[in-house]
């Protein structure tokens, strides 16, 4: 019986994995250069961790199951809630701020399409313990640097859910639903919803005007005309971003799909992807108190790793690959030569199929090796090996101890 892989999941061939690992390494290097250190949390959590504050959207998409003791668990749909749980349980006494990063798989029961999977990877950071605009500035600068380092073309949109919530505060418990509609840019849905709950035309127009405020920092002046709100936090943040050379669009319609955000929020979009063009999302939030800790501000983001991999055209650096080809009876010598090659940093492959010399050579070509090192009785006696350059066809003999030089010959 042929068993298919579950819908919305993927298998990755070696070429794809090499590319993914190369991108991952770059992101790690940049995160670490800002002082972030990697953490890891369980793949599944008690489902209530996500039900408490992540919002209806995420909860509806969650993989929830009962274990054999009847506990309700969920595969993590994201990492922010788990990291704050971890922080509250085990690291709340660490010197502040804490700088954590992660690279993990997440699970959401969404309708699969290009760029949207049921199992996907996030590379993210959480900066815990500061309520300063400088913390938001740092994570935005970091995300911007990561995406730039990969040569991706993107737009960064910065909003502030505090401003939006302020404008919607009169809706009380119905504000979250309005926020979700704004997040989906569903103007018609929002219009109908506001009408349904009896919001006055004038207020409706004001909400729509706020969510459509988009442009350079001059839109703050327009926002000030619509709202009685202190914009100085946002202004100071933009000052830092301007001086760091971060290019952005201020967009007060950015509402984010998760309920826990409290202040600045941001999203990065790529125009080179289809419908699923959001490649990174984040913002500031407060979850620690909700999880039994003391009130602690935090900010962070997660990059949709699978989406950025689509955008990056990158050939991973390859090591020189050598196939050690040998006559029957010289297996031990072949293993020894291969080990010497490996200790010099080359990739060495030895036949384990007990095949003829001809078949070993043809396999070397099939796997795109750079060289075949041929071991025969006569060569062994002289302390030599024959080398065939599989790209040029050139063949020559060298002393066995000269083999490490092959790495520079490619």
Burial class (CB in 10 A: 0-12, 13-18, 19+), 127: buried
Contact 152, 312 (CB under 8 A): yes
Q: Taking CB under 6 A as the rule, does residue 300 contact ligand HAM?
A: yes
Q: Which residues pair with 134 in a beta bridge?
A: none
Q: Taking CB under 6 A as the rule, does residue 278 contact ligand HAM?
A: yes
DSSP 63-122: -EEE-TT--EEEE-S-SHHHHHHHIIIIITTSPSSEEEEEEEEEE-----BTTB-SEEEE
Q: Taking CB under 6 A as the rule, does residue 306 contact ligand HAM?
A: yes
Q: Taking CB under 6 A as the rule, does residue 55 contact ligand HAM?
A: no
Contact window for ligand HAM (CB under 6 A) among 185-193, 228-236, 278-286, 326-334: 278-286
The residue from 31, 190, 279, 403 that contacts ligand HAM (CB under 6 A) is 279
Closest by CA to 130, choosing from 286, 301, 237, is 286
Token representation of residue 387? 């080398």
Q: Taking CB under 6 A as the rule, does residue 159 contact ligand HAM?
A: no
Contact window for ligand HAM (CB under 6 A) among 31-39, 208-216, 279-287, 327-335: 279-287
Q: Which is nearer to ligand HAM, 281 or 334 (CB)?
A: 281
Q: Taking CB under 6 A as the rule, does residue 126 contact ligand HAM?
A: yes
Q: Which is nearer to ligand HAM, 291 or 327 (CB)?
A: 291
Show the binding pattern over residues 59-78: x = contacts ligand HAM (CB under 6 A), - = does not: -------------------x
SS3 content of the chain, % helix, strand, coil (to 5): 40, 25, 35
Q: Taking CB under 6 A as the rule, does residue 129 contact ligand HAM?
A: no
Rg (CA), the chain: 28
Q: Taking CB under 6 A as the rule, does residue 277 contact ligand HAM?
A: no
List CB contacts of 390: < 8 A, sequence separation 6 or more: 364, 365, 369, 370, 371, 372
**101 to each of 124, 139, 152, 376, how far by Cα in Å?**
6, 11, 21, 52
Q: Which is nearer to ligand HAM, 194 or 258 (CB)?
A: 258
The residue of the chain with the least Cβ separation from ligand HAM equals 304
Q: Taking CB under 6 A as the rule, does residue 117 contact ligand HAM?
A: yes
Q: Taking CB under 6 A as the rule, does residue 135 contact ligand HAM?
A: no
Q: How far is the CB of 231 from ligand HAM (least distance, A)?
A: 22
Q: Taking CB under 6 A as the rule, does residue 257 contact ligand HAM?
A: yes
Q: Taking CB under 6 A as the rule, does residue 282 contact ligand HAM?
A: yes
How many residues touch ligand HAM (CB under 6 A)?
Answer: 25
Contact window for ligand HAM (CB under 6 A) among 129-137, 148-156, 299-307, 356-364: 299-307
Contact 304, 122 (CB under 8 A): yes
Contact 59, 110 (CB under 8 A): no
Q: Which is nearer to ligand HAM, 297 or 379 (CB)?
A: 297
Which one-letter DSSP state was computed for residue 166? H
Q: Taking CB under 6 A as the rule, does residue 104 contact ligand HAM?
A: no
Q: Taking CB under 6 A as the rule, does residue 57 contact ligand HAM?
A: no
Closest by CA to 184, choosing from 255, 280, 85, is 255
Contact 302, 124 (CB under 8 A): yes
Interface residues with ligand HAM (CB under 6 A) are: 78-80, 108, 110, 116-117, 120, 122, 124, 126, 257-258, 278-283, 300-302, 304, 306-307
């Amino acid at each position: 019986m042929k068993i298919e892989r579950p819908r919305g999941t993927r298998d990755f061939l070696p070429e794809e994995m090499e590319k993914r690992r190369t991108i991952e390494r770059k992101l790690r290097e940049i995160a670490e250069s800002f002082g972030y250190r990697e953490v890891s949390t369980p793949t599944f959590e008690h489902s209530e961790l996500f039900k408490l504050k992540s919002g209806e959207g995420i909860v509806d998409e969650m993989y929830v199951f009962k274990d054999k003791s009847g506990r309700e668990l969920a595969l993590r749909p994201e990492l922010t809630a788990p990291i704050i749980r971890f922080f509250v349980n085990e690291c709340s006494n660490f010197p502040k701020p804490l700088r954590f990063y992660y690279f993990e798989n997440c699970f959401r029961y969404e309708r699969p399409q290009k760029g949207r999977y049921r199992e996907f990877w996030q590379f993210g950071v959480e900066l815990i313990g500061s309520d300063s605009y400088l913390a938001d500035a740092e994570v935005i600068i970091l995300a911007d640097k990561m995406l730039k380092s990969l040569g991706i073309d993107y737009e960064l949109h910065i909003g502030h859910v505090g401003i939006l919530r302020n404008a919607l505060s009169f809706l009380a418990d119905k504000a979250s639903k309005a926020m979700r509609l704004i997040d989906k840019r569903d103007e018609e849905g929002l219009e109908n919803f506001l009408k349904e709950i009896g919001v006055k035309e004038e207020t409706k127009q004001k909400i729509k005007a706020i969510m459509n405020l988009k442009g350079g920092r001059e839109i703050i002046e327009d926002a000030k005309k619509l709202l009685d709100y202190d914009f100085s936090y946002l202004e100071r943040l933009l000052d830092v971003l301007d001086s760091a050379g971060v290019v952005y669009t201020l967009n007060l319609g950015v509402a984010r799909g998760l309920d826990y955000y409290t202040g600045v929020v941001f999203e990065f979009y790529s125009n080179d992807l289809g419908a699923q063009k959001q490649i990174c999302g984040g913002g500031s939030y407060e979850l620690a108190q909700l999880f039994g800790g003391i009130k602690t501000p935090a900010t962070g983001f997660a990059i949709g790793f699978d989406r950025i991999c689509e955008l990056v055209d990158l050939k991973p650096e390859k090591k020189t690959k050598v196939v050690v080809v040998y006559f029957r009876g010289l297996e031990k010598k072949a293993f020894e030569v291969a080990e010497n090659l490996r200790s010099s940093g080359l990739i060495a492959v030895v036949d384990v199929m007990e095949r003829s010399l001809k078949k070993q050579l043809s396999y070397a070509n099939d796997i795109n090796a750079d060289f075949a090192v041929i071991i025969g009785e006569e060569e062994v006696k002289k302390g030599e090996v024959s080398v065939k350059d599989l790209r040029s066809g050139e063949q020559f003999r060298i002393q066995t101890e000269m083999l490490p030089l092959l790495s520079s010959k490619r």
